[in-house]
Amino acid sequence: MLNNNRLLYLICSFIILIGTGCQSKEPKTLGNNSDARHATGLLLSQITSPNETERFDVLEEVKKQVGHIRPKDIEQALTSLRKKNVSTLIFVLMETESNAIYKLHPPARMASENSEGSFPNIAYYYARVNPQRGLPELYRLYKEHPTQRLAICKAIGRVGTSEAIEFLMEKAEKQKQLGGSTIPHLAGLESSNKIVEEANIVWFLEQDLDREESILLAHSKARFTQEELVSLYNAGKSKRAYAIEYVFRDPSKNFEALCSIIEKEMANKQYDRVLQLLMSDSMRRSKDQRVKKYRESVITRIDQST
């Protein structure tokens, strides 16, 4: 009888232990959610820290978790009353192509655009993540942040639509009329990697651009013939500066125009100017045999003439 009671006691104890064990393994939903929210908040606080090292340390972890982070959590991090830097957070959202910034309420959106580290990343975010939706935001930033127009125009250029290009041209024309600089707009055209119509380039060149503006314009794609490039060179001033920069950026492609320019300078005995052009990086590093042989022959001619 004693043994039977002992056996019954052991069986009951075993059942209780099993039940307790199973109970301990059940997820504590409220506790887990609370812990997760706390961990997310801490992670977002670190990724927006003013300390660059702290931000970098959690960058990869935030990339892994970004799909589970709610816009509400990001809003809290952006609007919290503390010193912060939002550059890395925006970078992560851009790299992971998260739409989170578009889902933010106005106070948090303003924080993402007006905090330390907002630019240039916020502009590039709008250009890269859902650019159709981002382009109107870039137009707004252009108006609201005049000191950040270089980054904003580059981002608009990267969108690359005809509407974006027309916007850059329109604003450039207005700036010139006001006596302002077109450097941000020309940088935008360059970053677009789109062909800029000849008429638009000629319009710029007739605005008496400074050297920096001429160089930027020459970095944009164009469809000038070799004869047209020589004509621009012969026109002098901004058009000459543009033609030289454009031709000597790609001596192989523009070999005919290059030879015409060099021969004219040689005829005028502008040997120092010719040597300066021949010593440019693009000329020295060209692997085109025509360019290499012509360069060497002109240098020899100059040596014999001086």
Q: For residue 170, is it left (φ>0), alpha (ψ between -120 and 50) or beta? A: alpha
Helix axes 198-205 and 237-249, enclosed angle (nearest 10):
130
pTM: 0.82
CA angle 268, 269, 274 (to 5 degrees): 100
Mean of the pLDDT values across residues 192-207?
91
Does position 85 have pLDDT exceeding 90, yes or no?
A: yes
Residue at 157 is within a domain: no
**Residue 134 to residues 113, 145, 276, Cα–Cα distance (Å):** 13, 16, 44
The reported pLDDT for the residue numbered 38 is 77
Q: Dump pLDDT digits (tens) for 133-168.
A: 999 999 999 999 999 999 999 999 999 999 999 999
Residue at 274 is within a domain: yes
DSSP annotation string for 48-93: T-S-HHHHHHHHHHHHHHGGG--HHHHHHHHHSSS--B-HHHHHHH
- Residue from 298, 297, 246, 252 nearest 272 by CA: 298
Residue at 54 is within a domain: no
Q: What whole-number percentage of the chain has pLDDT above 70? A: 89
Total of domains in the chain: 1
Does position 214 have pLDDT exceeding 50, yes or no?
A: yes
Rounded distance, CA 11 to CA 116, Å?
A: 66
Which three-class secondary structure state does DSSP give residue 208? Answer: coil
Dig out the tokens for 130 from the structure.
Answer: 């859902």
Residue at 196 is within a domain: no
Mean of the pLDDT values across residues 254-265?
98
Q: What whole-number percentage of the chain has pLDDT above 90? A: 78
Q: What confidence tier does 209 reach under pLDDT thresholds 50, 70, 90?
A: confident
Position with higher pLDDT, 173 vs 259 = 259
Residue at 135 is within a domain: no
Position with higher pLDDT, 261 vs 2 = 261
Residue at 295 is within a domain: yes
Dig out the tokens for 90 from the structure.
Answer: 């925006």
By the 8 A CB rule, do 187 and 154 touch?
A: yes
Residue at 51 is within a domain: no
Residue at 298 is within a domain: yes
DSSP annotation string for 107-162: HHHHHHHHSBT-TTHHHHHHHHSSHHHHHHHHHHHHHH-GGGHHHHHHHHHHH--H
Q: Dump pLDDT digits (tens) for 4-32.
A: 555 445 444 444 444 444 444 333 332 34
Position with higher pLDDT, 5 vs 60 = 60
Rounded distance, CA 217 to CA 168, Å?
A: 13
Rounded distance, CA 288 to CA 118, Å?
A: 44
The reported pLDDT for the residue numbered 210 is 85
Does position 128 have pLDDT exceeding 80, yes or no?
A: yes
- Residue from 287, 190, 290, 288 nearest 245 by CA: 190
Q: For residue 286, is it left (φ>0), alpha (ψ between -120 and 50) or beta? A: beta
Query: Residue 248 sits in which domain range?
Result: 229-306
Q: What confidence tier does 66 reach under pLDDT thresholds 50, 70, 90?
A: very high
